[in-house]
Amino acid sequence: MNWIFERAKPFSQDAKMSALRRQLQLTKPQGSLGELESLVVHLAGLQGVDRPHIRAPWVTIFAADHGIATEGVSAYPQEVTFQMVANFAAGGAAASVLAKQHNARFEIVDVGVIGDTSVFPSVFVQKVAAGTQNCLHHAAMTDLQLKQAMKAGAEAAARAQAGYADLFIAGEMGIGNTTIASALLAALANVPIEQVTGAGTGISSEKIAYKQSVIQKILSCHSHSLSVTEKLAAMGGFEVVAMAGAYIRAAQLGMPILVDGFISSVAALYACNINHSVREWLFFGHLSDERAHQLVLDLMGAKPMLALNMRLGEASGALMALPILRLACELHEQMATFAEAGVANKET
């Protein structure tokens, strides 16, 4: 699995500088488009052009079940993972609707759902196993399974590149995965369990206290001295590992990435901890209402584009932010310069 350590594609300082020069010529007070300016200038450096575009966004939803779901940590039953895969395939999930609106390529990859998803059209079945082990009692996955899940993610990024994608978005579906993401976060962040635990699908405050005790037990069950990849294998989530693999590979292939909410940000945090060069390829779509999302973003020095109190996952927050990134590109390309419009520029 040495590929995970290979450097991401280098960023073009030249393209960034020429995009920045163009921004200074456009008919607006300098800096008046705020974050839209920084976003497009950074995208220019990533795409290596002075006028970047997002013409072919790509969405892969990674779905998997979790042994921890049997501990009653979610507001919804475990079967929902399988049932939602059917819903994604039929076009009825939030992410399906948004991807269609944006003409984004949309695929679902089953990396570990309990049940036969091969009956649904547009589902890639790359099942590592039918759900992870309960990480309260065992490692969630073996070393081999970790490699398989990473590879499934890398293959999605490679399919996206082969499909000429110019933006990669990963989403997830897996009942119980906020518990796993919180445990993974606590294992890296060294903060009190209360700070990493949220309501997930909407559990009560009493159940959050119980969820915290489960997360505490998960952490005490696994050694503190594990490496970053060993932590991923110990606590798991096939879909979380696949997202981390997809982010690493997308960055290596030179595809900018738009990260979604809490679960995908934890996957991104692990990807960056494995391979620091991934960080500059990441844009962050939104701030999720899940309690610990701000902490994850802070750990990566990340600024989300939107804050709409969403807490769904699935790539839905990233897909809400996609038009903003696209409109930033349109402004950058189509606005007139001071010279073109005959408008007097700032006095120097």
Give the residues lining the site for ligand NIO (CB under 6 A).
178, 200-201, 260-263, 288, 290, 293, 311-313
Q: Taking CB under 6 A as the rule, does residue 297 contact ligand RBZ?
A: no
Tell me whether residue 47 or residue 178 sits nearer to ligand NIO (CB atom): 178
Tell me whether residue 142 or residue 201 sits nearer to ligand NIO (CB atom): 201
Known active-site residue 314: yes
DSSP 49: S
Q: Which partner, ligand NIO, ligand RBZ, none, binds residue 288 by CB below 5 to 8 Å per kind?
A: ligand NIO
Which range binds ligand RBZ by CB under 6 A, 17-25, 76-84, 129-137, 147-155? 76-84
Residue nearest ligand NIO by beta-carbon distance: 261
Closest separation in Å from C-beta 191 to ligand RBZ: 19
Strand order in the sheet with 123-125: 123-125, 105-112, 57-64, 167-173, 257-259, 282-284
3-state secondary structure of 173: strand
- Is 325 within 8 Å of 35 (Cβ atoms)? no
- Is 246 within 8 Å of 268 (Cβ atoms)? no
Closest separation in Å from C-beta 253 to ligand NIO: 24
Q: Taking CB under 6 A as the rule, does residue 288 contact ligand RBZ?
A: no
Q: Which partner, ligand RBZ, ligand NIO, none, binds residue 71 by CB below 5 to 8 Å per kind?
A: none
DSSP 337: B
Closest separation in Å from C-beta 265 to ligand NIO: 7
Q: Taking CB under 6 A as the rule, does residue 74 contact ligand RBZ?
A: yes
CB under 8 Å, gap of 24 or more: what pairs does 205-214 form?
Answer: 207/73, 207/75, 210/72, 210/73, 211/73, 211/179, 211/182, 214/68, 214/71, 214/73, 214/136, 214/179
Q: Which partner, ligand NIO, ligand RBZ, none, binds residue 80 by CB below 5 to 8 Å per kind?
A: ligand RBZ
Closest separation in Å from C-beta 174 to ligand RBZ: 5
Q: Taking CB under 6 A as the rule, does residue 178 contact ligand RBZ?
A: yes
Report the residue count for the chain: 348
Q: Taking CB under 6 A as the rule, does residue 210 contact ligand RBZ?
A: no
- Is 40 within 8 Å of 20 (Cβ atoms)? no
- Burial of 55-66, coded b for 16+ CB within 10 Å and e otherwise, reads eebbbbbbbbbb
Q: Please tell me the distance from the alpha carbon of residue 346 to that of residue 88, in angstroms, as a whole number.
A: 51
Q: Taking CB under 6 A as the rule, does residue 98 contact ligand RBZ?
A: no
Q: Taking CB under 6 A as the rule, does residue 212 contact ligand RBZ?
A: no
344 CB-near residues (< 8 Å, 6+ apart): 338
Binding-site ranges for ligand RBZ (CB under 6 A): 74-76, 80, 84, 172-179, 200-201, 312-314
Please give the positions annotated as active site. 314
